[in-house]
Structure 1
């Protein structure tokens, strides 16, 4: 993997900068540089929406203004992440070339405007993209102040499905299907088109799923989602290839947490570093814990994609402008939420945006510099304080990264398939379920990785796979080998139900030999049919989804918990089977959070993945560990009040080198960074 450390081996602090909005005010640039230095900013992102300034007319390129800004920033110790401008097209292009604009599922071409409004398949769009990227690379790709390529902006961020349904995309979809299935017979079998007599007899009959056409073939729906993700990924590859024509800088794209339309595991190999845009809804609940858990899961996903440090490319220093209610971050939360990203593996804290726009839709979106008052604002002071702290901890933090020994299976194709089914429940809530299984680890201060079904499992002591409905080819064999070699694997209800084409798997569960269970039927019970399971001397309430299953006779499977009510009272709800050198567990139902806490605490201890702080963390406090020559712990308090935490060992406080041991009081929204004791002492 290429590294940016050859130019600037430190934590980055800065954000999106849009100086093209202030070209006619040169004094603003000089004032911005002064304020950036005051705020300890060492890096900005430039050019994200600059196409109309870089190419104001077709084939007429203006790069001088951008070079002058990069020069001035670099002269003042501020580096640039340089973006390609394809996130928003200039009007001269959308007016002249209609095909570059996306077409909706209703067959209506979008009008010019907005962002992310381009067709990823359009030959014209790809040609124009390559030209602007080549020129950008040729003029600025080797500038000493530029450290990273930022490819486009939030790919697919135009709506819920990120797709274009134009004729170019329809033909590309058919070609993609031909490559995948080879023959219509294979496709018809995979999509089970004999249902409702929808057998295809010619490739030209295939159309993307749309409301006024075919949308009930789950295989079609799943393959369309795969195609859309693939097509955007292919466009990204071409963008990367274009900027590397004259430059050897590393590349990234700014991702968007668990963004359903794009399989980020597929994007990761073509990127040198992962980055993403984080906008948690702080203060939207009675306390910050639910939001903190989800934010941590998002950071964890980004680190997991390459098992390496990532970049927090965007966050808000104060508010956003697109929620129903846009609440300011309360004092202290900005620093904590930013350091949460660092705790989970980020080597940067960057903002959208540096200076507020004077007009248009984001003029009231949060920024470091407001419309008035310059540096004399609470937000600016908090940003500046964080920037100073980032400088203080950079040398200790930068060379480290989290190295978990537990993993949670999160697979995009499983997500797409699971939430398209009709039954047993309309909302199968895959992501919510994954987060529910993530939370106990967060509460115990145990880092995990997210992996998909294509990932290598061999490096983990514990792997859990909630709601793993779709099994890709080879996945069952991979799990079998993992458990046989000594791994601990947790499967849940409604797993191994369909193959990778979304056809139901007949006969038995693909992991029956490993799990030692035989699944019979799935119940989705309402509030009038409560149930519970008995585990570890205590009863726990079940949720809606409850699977009826049986132990395979003679398998040696142990029943650890049973249902306590209804017609399946006494049947297994949690089982364990030794297989080879490892163990496999099967959880047959949704459960309350307290059960998952107890269950994963037990497994963490048995498999030696419990962290040093496990059992010593009060509510709302978690710990993350970044490993290196000197391991670091980030102790994070998401409570709006002081809490006391017990330290399991003696540590050195990174901020000032002070020795810390015993009990420590964490201030509201405080993040305490501690270095582990070294073999020769502190």
Structure 2
């Protein structure tokens, strides 16, 4: 069974009929059918229209919308409408709005403003979700449930008294009592010893740096607090509509939420992705996020929001040039999405997103944007057989949210220049250029199926990697602290010491703009005074105070880099050869992605590229047989199904 009961690939977008007179709805349905739309997301921000006053529901307009969708063969991704509380709820209960770290309660007037810990907000959310489920449980348009919207986008945390009480309950479950918390947080430092958990507050603005262990637990708590809201709605939907799958839209690689934990609570993963058309390398970063989406549950996922052209929230909102909407959409399919959805269907006339592009632009059907919509709909119908397919990767990148939160804690690190996304991309980009499939993985997952595992950074590390027997690469500043952000006995790399065969004597962060020569290249940002124990030295620092000191080492099949290299290619090529991992050879700017029996080749450049196909096959987009060397037009793609 696919993500939903809808066959083939999903195609459509956010539909906001409440922004338009009802006479427009008929035209919407006709044009959706013409474009091949088979799903629409509805009611995401409709709470104030569905419940205009406490306990008084107005479902009539939504009834008519769902009826129209069904009449035209379009399924509904039905939101529970709980993403933004209505003004009457905020005025009756001001405490539902979040409070900043400086003690300022935020005001109503935007979207997604709420305190995640508010019991009042939670009660009303659950009540509305139940009303929606009971109302539409038997409606034939209902294909999936959409809970909330982009959790942690506008509200990740709240520092009010209710949040403080919730935080203390969370801490009590984790540490039992003040003694357990004191031991975990190291409160003997700076005189922070607690005698009762009731004395603990959120990490509000303080005179100086806040305890990094407290900040780490706060990050964990904030992710969990929002997840509790999601779970509360899911419980209602599961009880009333047990056969209908539920999801919520992620935001690619988001710092604030532990998506490994969140994905486990969903029936399938969905994502919102908005690569910048003005950035010629944006397709690499978004490919990394798509691979995360595929890896979260090791199954197909859904691109639930993307932009047909320009967005509305950057400093400069560049449009997508001809061909890019289609290319970006096919890229998501290549990396495992079972559909392409957009924000939004009809371009808004008012509000903060009135200049955000849409499938049906302001200019209507005479526009380039509408022609792009028609072309993509036709292409997706040709690619229907791709839905449900899933490929295997031989390489994995390790991503751990606890480690990420600890690494980027403010004001307490040897350098604030280590950013996990940058570290991931430094390894992912050359793998992507080689057409090598990559999974992302938490350190505790079974890694035995991978030939090569790369951990660009594991600041917070246990012994999860100790049993891995494949080719392993570990980046700098790893194995530093335990789960409580306390430095491992004996220093770094802690539990990785025996595996890597090295010890770190001292961190050696490099000032901005400084490069340190290393055999075969140069390092930036970070270096270490490294002491080999029983590891072979592969490269040494040259010049300066680290002259002659080991920079890169290997013990058995485990390679350790004590620095950030300007170019990881030499090391990567070496470990790929040792692991016997091969990719697909393509020219620069062309992306090669295998999805099961299908090979996607995507030309992200504005020039024609010549590509040699690895096998003879049928291009599903043109229904032609291809083999040998072909020309791939600018921003064009082929989807090759092998002919045996």
Aligned to 1:420: 409
**What are the equivalent positions in structure 2 for 1:246-395 lying under 5 Å apart?**
246-248=240-242, 249-284=244-279, 288=280, 290-372=281-363, 374-395=364-385
Aligned to 1:532: 517
Aligned to 1:544: 525
CA distance in 1, matches of 2:304, 2:253: 16
CA distance in 1, matches of 2:354, 2:515: 50
Aligned to 1:591: 565
**What are the equivalent positions in structure 2 for 1:7-406 lying under 5 Å apart?**
7-22=5-20, 25-158=21-154, 162-212=156-206, 215-248=209-242, 249-284=244-279, 288=280, 290-372=281-363, 374-395=364-385, 397-406=386-395
Check whether the contact 2:249–2:270 (CA below 8 A) recurs between aligned residues: yes
Offset, 1:291: 0.7
Offset, 1:331: 0.2
Check whether the contact 1:209–1:215 (CA below 8 A) recurs between aligned residues: no
Offset, 1:607: 1.4
Check whether the contact 1:3–1:250 (CA below 8 A) recurs between aligned residues: no
Check whether the contact 2:272–2:306 (CA below 8 A) recurs between aligned residues: yes
Deviates more, 1:194-203 or 1:596-605: 596-605
TM-score (norm 1): 0.91
Offset, 1:598: 2.6
Relative distance call for 1:113 and 1:530 in structure 2 (3 A) is: closer
CA distance in 2, matches of 1:526, 1:512: 27
Deviates more, 1:557-566 or 1:385-394: 557-566
Offset, 1:384: 1.0
- Measured against aligned partners, the alpha-carbon deviations of 1:300-339 in whole angstroms (never above 9, x if no partner) come to 1111110111100001101111111111100011111111
Check whether the contact 1:541–1:591 (CA below 8 A) recurs between aligned residues: yes
Offset, 1:466: 0.9
Offset, 1:371: 2.5
CA distance in 2, matches of 1:91, 1:462: 53
Equivalent position SS for 1:258: coil
Q: Are 2:456 and 1:466 aligned?
A: yes
CA distance in 1, matches of 2:630, 2:517: 39
Equivalent position SS for 1:655: coil
Q: Which runs of 4+ in 1 moved over 6 A?
A: none
TM-score (norm 2): 0.97
Relative distance call for 1:3 and 1:667 in structure 2 (3 A) is: closer
Q: Are 2:416 and 1:433 aligned?
A: no
Q: Are 2:594 and 1:625 aligned?
A: yes
**Unmatched tracts of structure 1, length 5 or more:** none
RMSD of equivalent CA atoms = 1.6
Check whether the contact 2:177–2:197 (CA below 8 A) recurs between aligned residues: no
Deviates more, 1:109-118 or 1:127-136: 109-118
CA distance in 2, matches of 1:216, 1:633: 50
Q: Are 2:481 and 1:491 aligned?
A: no
Check whether the contact 1:563–1:572 (CA below 8 A) recurs between aligned residues: yes
CA distance in 2, matches of 1:333, 1:425: 38
Offset, 1:656: 4.0
Relative distance call for 1:300 and 1:139 in structure 2 (3 A) is: same
Relative distance call for 1:646 and 1:216 in structure 2 (3 A) is: same
**Unmatched tracts of structure 2, length 5 or more:** none
Equivalent position SS for 2:437: coil
Aligned to 1:663: 629
Q: Are 2:503 and 1:514 aligned?
A: no
CA distance in 2, matches of 1:80, 1:329: 27
Offset, 1:427: 2.4
Offset, 1:214: 7.0
Offset, 1:294: 0.5
CA distance in 2, matches of 1:365, 1:589: 42
Offset, 1:567: 2.9
- Measured against aligned partners, the alpha-carbon deviations of 1:264-321 in whole angstroms (never above 9, x if no partner) come to 111011101100111111113xxx2x21110101111111110111100001101111
Check whether the contact 2:290–2:335 (CA below 8 A) recurs between aligned residues: yes
Check whether the contact 1:137–1:244 (CA below 8 A) recurs between aligned residues: no
CA distance in 1, matches of 2:546, 2:107: 57
Aligned to 2:433: 443
Equivalent position SS for 1:490: strand
Relative distance call for 1:72 and 1:528 in structure 2 (3 A) is: closer
Match of 1:481 among 467, 473, 482: 467
Number of residue pairs aligned between Structure 1 and Structure 2:
640
Equivalent position SS for 2:239: coil
Offset, 1:215: 4.7
Offset, 1:648: 2.4
CA distance in 2, matches of 1:283, 1:85: 33
Match of 1:565 among 543, 564, 568: 543
CA distance in 2, matches of 1:651, 1:600: 30
Offset, 1:529: 5.6
Offset, 1:4: 3.6
Check whether the contact 2:471–2:578 (CA below 8 A) recurs between aligned residues: no
CA distance in 2, matches of 1:528, 1:97: 52
Check whether the contact 1:134–1:245 (CA below 8 A) recurs between aligned residues: no
